[in-house]
């Protein structure tokens, strides 16, 4: 296993670049178009793409969690020491905030901001629970059945979840906290963070419980799929 300092740097770097991409692509999209759907599409493509790159690049070093909810799940599975998981969460949050500041610097905006974008209510919280549930389920199933495909699976899942959830799928407490530090397209009002984070953690824990049972079956025991010939 890679030593802890290198793993922590990888987690901080990955989360910083992820947030810089989320925030920066949102700023660029707002600069280039007034069409909200087109701006969201641009934001989505950039986020999904960078996830594939970052997980492929940093996964062999730290596991490429970039997400305290994911680190919590791996700690509960005893795949990550709990002390390490706590350090992971700290550097993920710190890296995310640095990423938001970096995005502001690249677009010559005030470095420190507080978002005024309201994201609250039952539909938003349910969306975040579903988003984080699906993300954790994708990761756990991926590493069990198709480990080499995990970067693409996560990138594609988040790309889809941007569009099928009302919250546009933050699915990550560290990213949510970082996005409270930007008053741009991808921001979230700090007041709304607790609801998002609790929903994300709940979704992650439900996914852990369900997938622990579902993936307990031997891989080769699935029933074959028969395609009946049309006469």
Instruction: State pLDDT tens for residues 93-140.
Output: 999 999 999 999 999 999 999 999 999 999 999 999 999 999 999 999
Reported pTM: 0.93
- Residue-wise pLDDT for 35-85, tens only, equals 999 999 999 999 999 999 999 999 999 999 999 999 999 999 999 999 999
- Residue 72, token pair as written in the block: 């919590």
């Amino acid at each position: 296993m890679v030593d802890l300092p290198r793993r922590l740097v990888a987690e901080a770097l990955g989360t910083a670049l992820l947030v810089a991409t989320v925030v920066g692509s949102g700023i660029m999209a707002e600069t280039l178009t007034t069409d909200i759907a087109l701006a969201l599409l641009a934001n989505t493509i950039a986020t999904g793409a960078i996830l594939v790159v970052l997980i492929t690049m940093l996964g062999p070093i730290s596991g490429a969690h970039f997400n305290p909810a994911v680190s919590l799940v791996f700690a509960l599975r005893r795949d990550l020491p709990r002390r390490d998981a706590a350090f992971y969460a700290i550097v993920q949050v710190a890296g995310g905030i640095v990423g938001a500041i970096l995005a502001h610097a690249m677009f010559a905006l005030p470095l420190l901001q507080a978002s005024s974008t309201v994201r609250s209510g039952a539909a938003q919280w349910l969306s975040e629970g579903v988003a984080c549930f699906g993300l954790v389920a994708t990761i756990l199933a991926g590493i069990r059945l198709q480990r080499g495909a995990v970067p693409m699976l996560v990138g594609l899942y988040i790309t889809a979840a941007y569009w099928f959830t009302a919250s546009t799928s933050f699915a990550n407490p560290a990213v949510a906290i970082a996005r409270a530090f930007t008053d741009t397209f991808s921001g979230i009002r700090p007041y709304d963070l607790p609801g998002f984070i609790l929903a994300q953690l709940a979704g992650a824990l439900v996914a852990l419980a369900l997938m622990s049972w579902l993936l307990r079956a031997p891989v080769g025991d699935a029933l074959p799929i028969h395609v009946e010939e049309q006469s």
